Amino acid sequence: MQPELQYKPYANEVWRLVEAQHVVSTTKLVDSGEEQELLEQILETTKPPVPPDCQHLHYLISTPFRYGRYPWDSRFRRMGETPGVFYCAEDPITAVAETVWQRKIFFDGSPGTPLPKEPGTYTAFSVSVRVPLVIDLTEPPMSSHVALWTDPDDYHACLDLADRARGDGCELIRYSSVRHPDGLANIAVLTCRAFENSNPAQTQTWHLFLRPGRTQVRCEHPKVSLEFGFEETRLAFV
């Protein structure tokens, strides 16, 4: 049986990582900025509409809420036609670690696919959130059930909790990263109302070098260089 949910306010700047191709993916297909803008407008018409309460947001922020059909269960979002979740972290390195793990899972599931020789380029961006109701799974009393919230494969307890939270009007869940070596805080934003600003506040460029059994990550501004190895269910610093 899950514990009674307890809520409190929350305000912070949070970080999300996306592939940098969101900037240049159509550039190579056109000869000018005007042509690129026209192509982007055409492509926009093929995508699902942005929900009304998210239309004021930059597309990097609204995208997780735009696609209603979700292909699989994630920690706080069910498969199928379900409300979006903006997964992010309280610091960029935690967001990077989550992406490193996702890339590992992808290549583990496709053993015939060679690792890329060139680094993958990603953009980390931050945005401010402020909500009156958050569930913090890292603090008592919720942390006494930590095994439910940090299972590496079974999301049933987290999905049930997210359903209950949404029913109570909760807009954000704070929880420990299952993949970061130190279990730092991740954030699941449940509604577009949670964002204080409509545009990203800061951006960083990260490069991920995938190697057998490890991944190197680098950022120039600020200067960061880390290497992650892989344990059974999470990353480890090398």
Q: Which domain holds residue 214?
A: 8-237
Across the strands, what pairs with 120?
208
pLDDT at 23 over 90: no
Task: Read off the pTM.
Answer: 0.91
Question: Is residue 3 situated within a structural domain?
Answer: no
> Does 32 score more than 90 pLDDT?
no
Q: Average pLDDT for residues 65-77, to the nearest whole number?
A: 92
Distance CA 158, CA 135 (A): 12
pLDDT value, residue 179: 97
Query: Do residues 157 and 148 lie in contact, with contact meaning Cβ atoms separated by under 8 Å?
Result: yes
Domains: count for the chain = 1
pLDDT (mean) for 220-233: 96
Query: Is 44 within the bounds of a domain?
Result: yes
Is 28 inside any structural domain?
yes
Q: Do the domain assignments include residue 1?
A: no
Task: Return the SS3 of 3.
Answer: coil
Model confidence band, residue 67 (pLDDT cutoffs 50, 70, 90):
confident
Q: How far apart are CA 129 and CA 192, in angstroms?
A: 10
The dihedral sign for the CA sequence 150, 154, 156, 162: positive
**Would residue 2 count as lying in a domain?**
no
Evaluate whether residue 165 is within a structural domain.
Answer: yes
* 47-56 average pLDDT score: 92
Name the CA radius of gyration of the chain, rounded.
18
Cα–Cα dist 230/101, whole Å: 8
Sorting pLDDT into bands at 50, 70 and 90, what band is 120? Answer: very high
Task: Tell me, yes or no, whether 232 lies in a domain.
Answer: yes
**Does the pLDDT of residue 204 top 90, yes or no?**
yes
